[in-house]
């Protein structure tokens, strides 16, 4: 099936800004089929390789929204956006000279797409689920000191603290491009519920913690999400959109919220 040429109106992203798009993954089977048919062949093949419906839907909808949004920022059609991946599978723009950076995350019925100019960016959203092996997971992500602090929390706070830590650490791991290959124990983040997101330490190969911004992203109940950007001061602008709105150019439906990270820290 030929790709429909979908052009988004020009979207402007300033250097000090980071745009975070909340994409709902509630699509009818008909919409899903239509979106999948507009993806290039290799992405259709990847969509077809998922045996389970939920991750297939996450991939199709998020990739479609990503193409439409990148097309909007670059001023090209969604079909013209070309990707390459780094050694750890992180998708990047194939354009050598463009400083547009992005990262995506999906979980349950929600996806996040984060974009910045020049600054490496990573985003993670997780739906809270009961874990079979809390202590095994906890030992995997925390150094001894942080593990002891987590174990000292009340049982009620432990689940929330775990997801706060996980999403904050994974956002940084995705920003540096390593994903799960990163040493999560070296990525030290705040995690006590109610304490603001803070990067306390990371592998020196990725710079000083003070060179980074780590920000929690508002989510529906029972989800946690975080954004990391290699820039000490970012203005985060959040938008909510469906792929249908993106296709139809219903930009008036967007709900922007601006947050100045440096202001939040004061
Ligand atoms: C990426 C990874 C962190 C995903 O974590 P997750 O919580 O299951 O999934 P999320 O929804 O948060 O993120 C998935 C998205 O992150 C992006 N991604 C993939 N690899 C990434 C990496 N190394 N760094 C940053 N982002 C990455 C992709 O866009 C992916 O979505 P898509 O496949 O729909 O395009 C994890 O699967 C990983 O580390 N993979 C690396 C695999 C690898 O090393 N492969 C070797 C070469 S291919």
Same domain, 132 and 62: no
Q: In a mutational test of the pocket of ligand 1, which residue from 23, 113, 174, 225 has the highest number of ligand atoms less than 8 Å from its CB?
A: 174
| Residue 106 placed within a domain | yes
Same domain, 30 and 136: no
CA–CA separation, 144 and 113 (whole Å): 33
Average pLDDT (53-66) is 94
- Range(s) of the domain holding residue 251: 1-119+234-258
Least confident of 85-89, 127-131, 218-222, 242-246: 242-246
- Res 12: pLDDT: 86
Same domain, 10 and 97: yes
Same domain, 115 and 238: yes
| Residue 144 placed within a domain | yes
**Residue 225's CATH number:** 3.90.470.20
Nearest protein Cα to ligand 1, atom 1: 179
| Residue 264 placed within a domain | no
CA–CA separation, 78 and 100 (whole Å): 15
Q: What is the pLDDT of residues 20-32, one digit of tens each?
A: 999 989 878 888 9
Same domain, 14 and 115: yes
In this structure, are residues 53 and 61 in contact, taking their beta carbons and an 8 Å threshold? no
Nearest protein Cα to ligand 1, atom 3: 179
Same domain, 2 and 106: yes
CA–CA separation, 82 and 206 (whole Å): 27
Same domain, 178 and 243: no
Same domain, 1 and 111: yes
Same domain, 100 and 139: no
CA of 180 to the centre of ligand 1 (A): 8
pLDDT averaged over the chain?
Answer: 87
Taken as a whole, the chain contains a residue count of 266
Same domain, 77 and 108: yes
CA of 179 to the centre of ligand 1 (A): 6
Q: What are the backbone dihedrals phi and psi of residue 235, each rounded to the nearest 5 degrees, phi first?
A: -100, 115
Residues with CB under 6 A from ligand 1: 59, 62-63, 88-91, 103-106, 122, 124, 174, 177-181
The torsion of the CA quartet 159, 88, 99, 61, rounded to 10 degrees, works out to: -60
| Residue 180 placed within a domain | yes
| Residue 103 placed within a domain | yes
- Res 249: pLDDT: 59
| CA-based torsion, 235, 238, 243, 248: positive or negative | negative
Gyration radius of the chain over CA positions: 18
In the chain, how many domains are there? 2
Same domain, 12 and 113: yes
Geometric angle at alpha carbon 192, from 122 and 17, rounded to 5°: 30
Q: What is the pLDDT of residues 167-211, one digit of tens each?
A: 999 999 999 999 999 999 999 999 999 899 999 999 998 999 999
Same domain, 86 and 72: yes
| Residue 266 placed within a domain | no
Q: What is the pLDDT of residues 85-137, one digit of tens each?
A: 999 999 999 987 789 999 999 999 999 999 999 999 999 999 998 777 788 88
């Amino acid at each position: 099936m030929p790709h429909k040429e979908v052009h988004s109106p020009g979207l402007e992203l300033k250097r000090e800004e980071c745009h975070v798009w909340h994409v709902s993954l509630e699509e009818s089977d008909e919409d899903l089929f239509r979106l999948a048919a507009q993806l290039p062949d290799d992405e259709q093949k990847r969509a077809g390789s998922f045996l389970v419906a939920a991750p297939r839907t996450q991939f199709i909808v998020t990739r479609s929204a990503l193409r439409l949004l990148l097309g909007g920022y670059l001023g090209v059609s969604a079909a013209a956006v070309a990707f390459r991946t780094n050694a750890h599978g992180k998708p990047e723009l194939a354009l050598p000279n463009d400083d547009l950076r992005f990262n995506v995350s999906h979980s349950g019925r929600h996806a996040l797409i984060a974009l910045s100019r020049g600054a490496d960016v990573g985003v993670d959203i997780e739906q809270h689920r009961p874990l079979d092996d809390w202590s095994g997971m906890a030992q995997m992500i925390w150094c001894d000191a942080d593990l002891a602090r987590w174990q000292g929390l009340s049982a009620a706070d432990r689940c929330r603290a775990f997801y706060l830590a996980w999403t904050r650490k994974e956002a940084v791991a995705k920003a540096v491009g390593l994903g799960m290959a990163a040493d999560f124990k070296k990525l030290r983040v705040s995690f006590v519920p109610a304490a603001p997101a803070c990067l306390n330490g990371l592998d020196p190969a990725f710079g000083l913690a003070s060179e980074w911004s780590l920000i929690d992203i508002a989510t529906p109940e029972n989800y946690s999400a975080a954004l990391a950007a290699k820039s000490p001061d970012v203005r985060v602008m959040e938008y909510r959109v469906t792929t249908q709105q993106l296709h139809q150019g219903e930009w008036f439906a967007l709900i922007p919220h601006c947050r100045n990270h440096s202001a939040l820290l004061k």
